[in-house]
C-alpha cells in the first residue's frame, strides 16, 4: 500500500478522517505507524496529500489530512477485454488500475467459458476492492469504470464504432499482422482476447468495426502478461 | 500448455517418447487427446515439432515425434533482479521464461527480507518447474539460467562490470531520471529492485558499476508488473 485511500464515509469533517478495518490493520501491522507520523493519503476520486495520525488504538485511527495534489493522469484508453478466467481477472483488475486504465469493457467471446461470468469476483464490491488495491499500489485515486457486455455481436456492431469514433483502435492477435506500435501519443481503443485468442469470426467483426490487427511476436503470452506488455509498449 | 515439453528421459528412441504424470493428465483432462491426434511438442533445450499419439491409457502415452523447428530467439538480456517475495518470485520466473529472458541473477538488497532466501521455491527443481511452465506458455524449449548472488557489494564491485562489459546497462528506479528507452536493439543488462526500491547506496553502486538509471513514470508498479512492463518497452 503506497497510498492510503479514503472513502467519503471516513471524513468526519473536511480535514479529518477516522479509519478502521483493513486499512487500520495495515497501518498497525505493516507500516507500524505511531501518533504524529504522516502518511500519503488520497480521497477516492479526489486529491492526494498527507495525513497526520492524531489518535491511534486497536479500534480506529484519527488522521488530520491535507489534500492538494492531483492524482496522476490516466492513459487515453478504452480497454476491451474478453472476460478472463476468474483468478486471473482479479489480478488483471489490479494491474489495470495500477497502470492507469480509465475504462474497461468486459466482453464475451466464444473462448470465454460460460462459468467465467458466474464468478463472485464480478460483484461490484469485489471489482471495486480489486481496483482499489491497484490504485493504492500506483498512488492514484480515480477508479476505472468497468462495464459488462455479454453479447459480442450486438456490442461490436452497434456500440463499438461509436466508442472508436474514428480514432486509433487495435486488436492484439497472433498472426501475420503488423507489429504492435510503440509509444503512441493519442487516444486508443485496444481489444485483448481470451486465453486461446479470439476466433477468426470475432477478429473479422472487430476489424469491420474499425480495429486494426497487430501482433506482439511469436511468443504466446498469458492474458495477464499481454495486458501489461501491450500497455507498456503502446504508452 | 501451448507446447508439450519433453525430457531426455521421456525418449525411448530418437523418434518416440513415453509420458506419464502431469503431462499425461493434462493431455487426458484438458486437451482430451485421442490416439492419432497430433500435438505441438518440444525437446527441453532442443528443437520443437509435432508429436502423434500412438498409444494412450491412464498410465502413459506413447508418441511418435518429429522435431525440426528451432525455438524462438531469446532477448539479448541479463536480468539482475532483487530477490522477490516468494509468492511473486514463482510468477516472475514464469513471466521471465515466457518473455524470453535467457539469464536471471537474483541479488540481495537491503529491502530483500532475509526470509525470502529461505523459500523452498529457490530449490533448483522448483525453479526449473516454474521456468518450464513459462516455456510451455510461450512455446520455447530453452531454460533460462538462474544464478544466486546473496552478497550485493562484492557482486556489484567485482562481477557486474564484467557482465556489463561496456554494453548498455540500465537500472530501473523511480526518480528524476531519463525515461526508460523504447525498442532498443542491442544487448542489455537490466537491474530491477525490490518492492520499495533499491536504497540510494545501492543505486550509487550500480551506477558506479556502469549502469544508467531510468524511470517508468510516476506510477509505482509491483515488481512483477515492472518486469513485464520494462521488457515490453525495451524490446
To probe the interface with B, which of A144, A219, A221 has the most B CB atoms within 10 Å?
A: A219
Taking only the tens place, the pLDDT of each residue in B56-108 is 998 999 999 999 999 999 999 999 999 999 999 999 999 999 999 999 999 99
CB contact set of A210 (below 8 Å; sequence gap of 6+): A160, A161, A164, A166, A169
Largest distance between two CA atoms of chain B:
62
Which residues of chain A does B196 touch, with a Cβ-Cβ cutoff of 8 Å? none
Mention every residue, 6+ apart, whose C-beta is less than 8 A from residue A127: A93, A121, A146
SS3 B90: helix
B166 backbone φψ class: left, alpha, beta (φ>0; ψ -120 to 50): left
Q: What would the CATH number be for the domain defined by A77-234?
A: 3.40.1280.10
Nearest to A100 among B2, B138, B219 (CB): B219
Helix (H, G, I), strand (E, B) or coil at A217: coil
Cβ burial B90-118 (10 Å sphere, 16+ → b, else e): bbbbbbbbbbbbbbbbbbbbeebeeebee
A73 has a pLDDT exceeding 90: yes
Contacts of B182 in chain A (CB under 8 A): 182-183, 233
Compute the mean pLDDT over every residue in chain A, rounded to the nearest whole number: 96
Question: Residue A76 — very low, low, confident or very high, per pLDDT cuts 50/70/90?
Answer: very high
Fold of A4-69: Ribosomal Protein L25; Chain P (2.40.240)
pLDDT tens, residue by residue, B176-226: 999 999 999 899 999 999 999 999 999 999 999 999 999 999 999 999 999
Through-space distance between the first and last CA atoms of chain B, rounded to whole angstroms: 24
pLDDT of residue B151: 96
**How far is Cα A39 from Cα B26, in angstroms, rounded to an integer?**
49
Quick check: B72 and B63 in contact, CB under 8 A?
no
Q: Where in chain A are all domains bearing CATH 2.40.240.20?
A: 4-69
ipTM (interface predicted TM): 0.94
Instruction: Say if strands A77-82 and A103-107 run parallel, antiparallel, or are unpaired.
Output: parallel
| Sign of the dihedral defined by the CA atoms of residues B222, B228, B233, B234, in that order | positive
Tell me the chain B residues in contact with residue A75 when contact means C-beta distances shorter than 8 Å.
Answer: none
Query: Does the pLDDT at position B1 exceed 90?
Result: no
Inspect the interface and report whether the beta carbons of B228 and A225 lie closer than 8 Å.
Answer: yes
Interface test with A, best of B181, B196, B215, B219 (most A CBs within 10 A): B219
Chain B residues with CB within 8 Å of chain A CB: 2, 72, 95, 98-100, 137-140, 182-183, 217-222, 225, 228-233
Q: In this structure, are residues B41 and B3 in contact, taking their beta carbons and an 8 Å threshold?
A: yes
All 3 cell numbers of residue B218? 510516476
Q: Which of A98, A182, A221 shows the shortest C-beta gap to B219? A: A98
User: pLDDT for A139-181, tens place per residue?
Assistant: 999 999 999 999 999 999 999 999 999 899 999 998 899 999 9
B-chain CB neighbours of A222 within 8 Å are 98, 137
Residue A10 has pLDDT above 90, yes or no: yes
Contact B99 A228 (CB under 8 A): no
Helix B86-99 with B124-138: angle, nearest 10 deg: 40
* pLDDT (0 to 100) of residue B58: 86
The owner of cell 461490436 is: A156
Question: Residues of B with CB below 8 A from A196's CB?
Answer: none
Q: What is the pLDDT of residue A58?
A: 87
Q: How far apart are CA A99 and CA A102, in angstroms?
A: 9
Chain A residue with CA closest to B226: the answer is A228
Rounded Cα distance between A169 and A188, Å, is 5
The ranges of chain A annotated as CATH 3.40.1280.10 are 77-234
A16 Cα to chain B: minimum distance (Å) = 26
Q: Which three cell numbers stand for residue A31?
A: 507500516
Say if the Cβ atoms of A98 and B218 lie within 8 Å.
no
- Average pLDDT of every residue of chain B: 96
- pLDDT, position A1: 83
Nearest CA in chain A to B196: A2
What residues does A104 pair with on adjacent strands?
Answer: A79, A146
Distance CA B8, CA B56 (A): 20
Residue A193: is it exposed, middle or buried by C-beta count within 10 angstroms (0-12/13-18/19+)? Answer: buried
Q: What is the CA radius of gyration of chain A?
A: 20
Amino acid at each position: 500500500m503506497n497510498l492510503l485511500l479514503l472513502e467519503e464515509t471516513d471524513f468526519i469533517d473536511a480535514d479529518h478522517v477516522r479509519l478502521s478495518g483493513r486499512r487500520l490493520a495495515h497501518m498497525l501491522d505493516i507500516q507500524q505507524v505511531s501518533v504524529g507520523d504522516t502518511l500519503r493519503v488520497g480521497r477516492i476520486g479526489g486529491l492526494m496529500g498527507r495525513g497526520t495520525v492524531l489518535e491511534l488504538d486497536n479500534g480506529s485511527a484519527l488522521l488530520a489530512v491535507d489534500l492538494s495534489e492531483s492524482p496522476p493522469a490516466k492513459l487515453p484508453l478504452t480497454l476491451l477485454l474478453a472476460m478472463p478466467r476468474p483468478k486471473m481477472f482479479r489480478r488483471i483488475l489490479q494491474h489495470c488500475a495500477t497502470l492507469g486504465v480509465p475504462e474497461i469493457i468486459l466482453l464475451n467471446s466464444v473462448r470465454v467459458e460460460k462459468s467465467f461470468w458466474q464468478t463472485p469476483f464480478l460483484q461490484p464490491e469485489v471489482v471495486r476492492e480489486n481496483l482499489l488495491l491497484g490504485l493504492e499500489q500506483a498512488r492514484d485515486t480515480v477508479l476505472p469504470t468497468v462495464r459488462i457486455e455479454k453479447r459480442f455481436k450486438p456490442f461490436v456492431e452497434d456500440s463499438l464504432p461509436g466508442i472508436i469514433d474514428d480514432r486509433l483502435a487495435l486488436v492484439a492477435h497472433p498472426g501475420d499482422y503488423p507489429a504492435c506500435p510503440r509509444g503512441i501519443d493519442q487516444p486508443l481503443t485496444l481489444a485483448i482476447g481470451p486465453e486461446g485468442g479470439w476466433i477468426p469470426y470475432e477478429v473479422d467483426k472487430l476489424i469491420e468495426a474499425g480495429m486494426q490487427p497487430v501482433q506482439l511476436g511469436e511468443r504466446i503470452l498469458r492474458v495477464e502478461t499481454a495486458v501489461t506488455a501491450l500497455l507498456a509498449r503502446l504508452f
